[in-house]
Structure 1
Amino acid sequence: MSTVDLIHVAMQKAVNMPKSFERTRKAIAKKKGALDSLHQFSRDSKRLHRAQVRDEKLEKIAASRKKTDQPFLERAAFFQEALKQNGSEPFQLETIQELIKTFVHQYDDELNEVKKARRPGRPASAKEDLLKIKIAALEKEYKSGFLIPVLDTKENAALLDRWEGSWSYLTTLKWDRISSEGHRKPSSFPPRGDH
């Protein structure tokens, strides 16, 4: 990673970081002058500590949320790319089913490579187990109803084509759950376990 990239990442973190600690530090410094003159158990030092703990808690929550949101962002990006390759034209249901199958089985090649790399008689690696779990979860979801943006209407296809990668924009799209048997059910985003 170049220096410019590192600076950019640091700036992004600074922009997205909670600001309680910094605001509290400035307020106390304005009132008291130097922060190093604070007594260990003073009210102001306790205020600083609470602000720091709050910021750390918010950062953990944000990281956890990002981790749970990431699969849905990747899913939307996959179908957006398929739509762009189709000239931003809506798909027929059969084509949508094929796209879902492609998405569900995207890890098959990687799983086969990991299996081949394993010596005979050795137990499965952690990576192999994780890939199996991912594939099984996607297959289970597809069987009961796979959540995807509506791809067969001109309006929703245009909206998905304009998506810039943000989570909030995905809520403006219409979503469906399509099962492996071809049953279709309108759904909401973010998913709330409505299948």
Structure 2
Amino acid sequence: MAKTLEKARKQIQKKKNGASIDALHQYSRDSKRLHRAQIRDERLDKIASSKRKQDRPLLERVFFFQEFIRESEQLKAVEFETVRAKINEYVHQYDEELNAIKKERRPGRPASMREDLLGMKVASLEKEQKDGFYMPDLTTETNVQLLDKWEKRSWPYLTNLKWVKIAGNGEVRPALFPPQSN
């Protein structure tokens, strides 16, 4: 949360020897300064919320694989075939919901917004699975232990993890974090 407005308020109040800020003239320099600070705070909050919204799918993906590691109760490297099965499970996690929505829809009716969104999400996940699925490397023990220590809200910690792209044909390529939009 941006704090420019609070800082500007304190500075103006200090300049006025503790007098109320409510007594400022509408077009004074100080009121314009407060207005600029408020606009800046709103803009920074909007940018931060859009960044969080953009990062949410990747965080959910990491959380999914962290839960898988924690369920196995052994913080050891996972075999490649198990990783591929887990990727397949992640990609097809919305299939049941999508099929249920399709069955509920009456014949001849257009698809609902939720159905369209789920369809697009499933299609993009399947395409990514074919081209190269981006995920933390679960085949190394140190990386699995680092993933176990990760807290769900901590974005900077994810740079400590080793990342890979696993293609549909089984090819494993190292990747950088955060993912590049190539």
TM over 0.5: yes
Cα deviation for residue 41 of structure 1 reads 1.0
Query: In structure 1, what is the equivalent of residue 121 of structure 2?
Result: 134
Q: Which amino acid aligns with 1:84?
A: R
TM-score (norm 1): 0.89
Distance across 2 between alignment mates of 1:34 and 1:80: 52
TM-score (norm 2): 0.95
Counterpart in the other structure of 1:51? 37
> What is the alpha-carbon distance in structure 2 between the residues aligned to residue 131 and residue 174 of structure 1?
29
Could you tell me how far 1:193 is from its partner in structure 2? 2.4
Aligned counterparts of 1:50 and 1:142: Cα–Cα separation in 2? 46
Out of 112, 118, 132, the position equivalent to 1:125 is: 112
From 1, 5, 8, the counterpart of 1:24:
8
Conserved 8 A contact 1:111-1:132: yes
Q: Distance in 1 between matches of 2:148 and 2:162?
A: 13
Deviations 1:85-129 (A, max 9, x none): 222221111111110010011100110111111111111000000
Unaligned runs of 5+ in 1: 1-16
- The 8 Å contact of residues 83 and 90 in structure 1, kept in 2 or not, is answered as no
For structure 2, list consecutive stretches of 5 or more residues without a partner in the other structure. none
Instruction: In structure 2, give the amino acid aligned to 1:69.
Output: D
Report the secondary structure of 2:77's partner residue: coil
Instruction: Please tell me the residue identity of whatever aligns with 2:22.
Output: D
For residues 36 and 148 of structure 1, what CA distance do their matches in structure 2 show?
53
Aligned Cα RMSD in Å? 0.9
Number of aligned pairs? 178
Deviations 1:1-52 (A, max 9, x none): xxxxxxxxxxxxxxxx210001101111121211122111111011000100
* 4+ residue runs over 2 A deviation: none
- Distance apart, 1:143 and its partner CA: 1.0
Percent identity for Structure 1 against Structure 2: 56
